[in-house]
Amino acid sequence: MGLKYLDLVAQKALKWKSSRPRDLAHSNSQAKMTGIFTYRHFSLGHISTLNGRVAVVTGGQAGIGKEITTQLLLHDIEKVIIIARSEDKYITACEEWGHRKGILLKNDTQVEFVKCDLGDIQDVKAAVEKIKQITDRIHILVCNAAISVQNEYKRSPQNIERVFATNCVGHQVLTTSLLPLLRNGVTPSNDARIVVTSSSFHFWCQRLDLDLLFSSSRVKWPALYDGIWRYGRSKLGNILFAKELSRRLLDDEDPASKQIYVNSFFPGNIVTDQWFGWDSYFGRFLGWLIRAAGSWLGQNLEDGAATALYLATSQEVREQNHRGQYFIPTGTLCEPSAISRDMKLARELWDWIDAQATEALGWDWQYQ
């Protein structure tokens, strides 16, 4: 089923690619969902100086996250804290930034690394404590790190399905714990931003059964469909998280909370190291073909980062009061799936993740 679907998507993409321009101002919503086209509303050239601002980027050492970090540095960010599992990739990225034209690192602490496995609630809380030792304020938080489509089924130390634990649970625990620092970043002239990376794959999940997150084995067949569905489920969770967090901040009594803008986005079809996961399903040759097609049909890294930078830096987000919304490349508002707009489900998911964190960290974990 999965292979036939991918083949159908590829055929349609080729037809659209040959008959229409790459950048379209108007098209139907189904075309927008695919990410095949780029709807340019924003470019990296629109970014103003970020001097004095502090950013935290999960997965900021590789793929789209690395490009997001690169653009922050190119626009004079005061400090970037990268949260990731791989310090080796971080060291390699630092070497690239040191040689990148336009980047002049101010000091040895302009970019800092905090090692963290987002799939482990205990590890996330430990990372938060390290971040608090580095800074007392945050202006931009980009929840970008993710496990992509996985053939192998694993669970987290808290027995939650691994992809969901990393992509959703870890980011909610991280963000909730960092809210005091984000409030500290708010001033009369500056707001704070939270940007959550999602995907068009969220359309694959049309039901969020929370009990299945504790399943000891895969619940969908064949394995390809299960891997795509689990990834899509986590990306659905990202959108629901952004919507519910945005609602809670608006309802909060602290005036600074109302100046924190939360939105989610789909970066586009961008070939990164995560695309090598297709090899486990199709073998190396077909995996290579999928990556080649993605490189031709999709966006580049700069396009993928641009939407995140729009949500993280553009004054338009504040002027148009974008809160809890979903965007596609580059910086274009788009309507996500019906289930991702279910606010009752968003509250249920929030409470479920909060319960897992409480069990792992104690009842007062949000106030530590």
Cα 304 to chain centroid distance, Å, stands at: 11
Cβ contacts of 265 within 8 Å, gap of 6 or more = 195, 196, 197, 198, 307, 308, 311, 326, 327, 328
Query: What mean pLDDT do residues 7-35 have?
Result: 45
Beta-bridge mates of residue 334: 326
Residue 12: pLDDT over 50: no
Query: What mean pLDDT do residues 271-275 have?
Result: 57
The pLDDT of residue 5: 41
The pLDDT of residue 358: 98
Residue ranges of the domains in the chain? 2-367
Of 51, 49, 69, 50, the residue nearest 59 (C-alpha): 69
Cα 185 to chain centroid distance, Å, stands at: 21
Residue 255: pLDDT over 90: yes
Query: What mean pLDDT do residues 324-349 have?
Result: 97
Higher pLDDT, 278 or 219: 219
Query: What mean pLDDT do residues 153-162 have?
Result: 98
Residue 324: pLDDT over 90: yes
- Diameter of the chain measured on Cα atoms: 57
Band of residue 194 on the pLDDT scale cut at 50, 70, 90? very high
The pLDDT of residue 297: 63
CATH 3.30.450.40 assigned to domain 2-367? The reply is: no
Query: What mean pLDDT do residues 88-97 have?
Result: 96
Distance (Å, rounded) from C-alpha 115 to C-alpha 95? 18
pTM of the model: 0.88
The pLDDT of residue 34: 58
Kindly report, residue by residue over 36-60, the tens digit of the pLDDT. Answer: 677 889 999 999 999 999 999 999 9
Query: What mean pLDDT do residues 218-222 have?
Result: 92
